[in-house]
Structure 1
Amino acid sequence: MKAELFEVWGDTVDGRHLLYSIGIGAVVSLGAFFVAQHLLVGWVESAQMARAYAMLVGIVGCLAGGAISAALFKPKRHVVELVADPAWRSKILIELQNEYGPLGRLSDLPPATLAELRELDLHDLFADYEKGLQTSAEGFDAPAAVSPASINGGRS
């Protein structure tokens, strides 16, 4: 039998597991509340205070029910990472330079930022871009800068 999947609060869930989780949460939280209320009535002077403390125990029961459900029912989502096209990334860097001016040099960045660029697989992109700028300054061919608008108001 194929599971019927629903989207709840931006996440994908199996309908049967959702119902089971609601049941588990209700039983655990209400059970914790009623047991705590029964036990606390003899310990606490005021019945209202015993009920208030029992509500706190019931909230902890909600968390416990959520943890039990999370352990029993694994996520149904599949994460797919798409790798961006390097040519598209280079084009974006050129457009950024045309719009905002020079992007700076990697050697000016602190080590933490360089480590983050390496972690995101962006360090080589910026290094290649920087090499392209150096070769264009020396007279070699570099990626052509894309002009956002021509002098005559954008008409060709």
Structure 2
Amino acid sequence: MPKQKQPVGKYMEVWGDTVVPKELAASSVICIITSMAFFLAGRTFFLSHGNLNPELAKGYALLIGIVGTFAGAFISGALFKPKRRILVDASAEDVEEILHAAGMTLEEEIDALRTVSPEVVREMESFELYSLLALIPENSPNFKPEYQMKAKEKEAVNQGKAEEK
């Protein structure tokens, strides 16, 4: 699969996630505005009640401000959709390298795949990680013979693409 060029400088990494700086700044401004608006509205509301201690009213207003932060995050999430694309093209040779990078041995992965939940197996199927799924032992409830067939098919396709280059 040919690598698609990403515009240089369009993305940056923050806390292990890749973001668009303009959208991050806009989201921050939205969250600041909603947090402060909720806080100030809450403070005004609670201080207008004469029977409430002013310090307690400010504490409640702070909680309302936190609700505003969540509202801002919801708005930002609706405005700025994720741009992630997961591109995995792992061949059988790459599996050991990938596992080594993850700090696992092949035997540990096989043992983990033997007992992993069906939900995880379905997710791996959705990402077409057949090179890993082909490692599931035959005596496991997660074993399906088609994993090995699909892994070989994918390997053949990848081999053909490599020869084209």
Amino acid at match of 2:79: L
Number of aligned residue pairs: 113
**Bigger radius of gyration:** 1
Q: 1:54 aligns to what? A: 61
Q: 1:9 aligns with which of 12, 15, 18?
A: 15
Show the counterpart of 2:71. 64
1:115-147 CA distances to partner (integer Å, 9 max, x unpaired)? 46864453675239xxxxxxxxxxxxxxxxxxx
- What is the alpha-carbon root mean square deviation over aligned residues? 3.6
Q: CA 1:42–1:124 in 2, change beyond 3 Å: closer, same or farther?
A: same
Q: In 1, Cα distance between the equivalents of 2:86 and 2:35?
A: 32
1:127 to 138, 148, 151: 138
TM-score, normalisation: structure 2:
0.54
Deviations 1:49-107 (A, max 9, x none): 11000000001111111111111011232211233418967xx9xx977xx9xx99xxx
In structure 2, stretches of 5+ residues that fail to align are 1-6, 100-104, 125-129, 140-165
State how far apart, in whole Å, the 2-side matches of 1:49 and 1:82 are. 57
Choose from 46, 57, 65 the match for 1:40: 46
SS, match of residue 7 in structure 1: strand
In 1, Cα distance between the equivalents of 2:75 and 2:36?
15
Identity %: 30
**Structure 1 spans left out of the alignment, 5+ residues:** 129-156
User: Which amino acid letter does the alignment assign opposite residue 11 of structure 1?
Assistant: D
User: Normalization by structure 1: what TM-score?
Assistant: 0.57
CA shift in 2, pair 1:57/1:124, >3 Å: same
Q: 1:21 to 1:126 in 2, by over 3 A?
A: same
Aligned runs of 1:52-131 on 2, under 5 Å? Answer: 52-85=59-92, 115=118, 119=122, 120=124, 122=133, 125-127=136-138
The answer (yes or no) to whether the contact 1:117–1:123 under 8 Å persists in 2 is no
- Picking from 24, 27, 30, the partner of 2:36 is 30
